[in-house]
Amino acid sequence: MQRAAFKTREKRPWRFRGICADARALGVHRNSLYKVLAGIWKLKKLAARYAALKKDRARAARRNPHATT
């Protein structure tokens, strides 16, 4: 007996793109960073460190737009 082809689920859009690399750079687990960004946990210091990391990466990208990472 043949089975029907499996339906492929639609992929959900990224909620926090690059969260794994950001968590690694901050020295925390991905789930911890996700919970802070989603508003489940209120960790002001981690949120501030994440904002500073993003700001520094954006500044570096503006300085050298052809560099990777």
- Decide if 12 contacts 3 (C-beta within 8 A): no
Q: Per-residue confidence of the chain (69 residues) as pLDDT tens digits?
A: 666 667 777 877 878 999 999 999 999 999 999 999 999 999 999 999 999 999 999 999 888 877 665
d(CA 41, CA 60): 29
Please tell me the pTM assigned to this model: 0.73
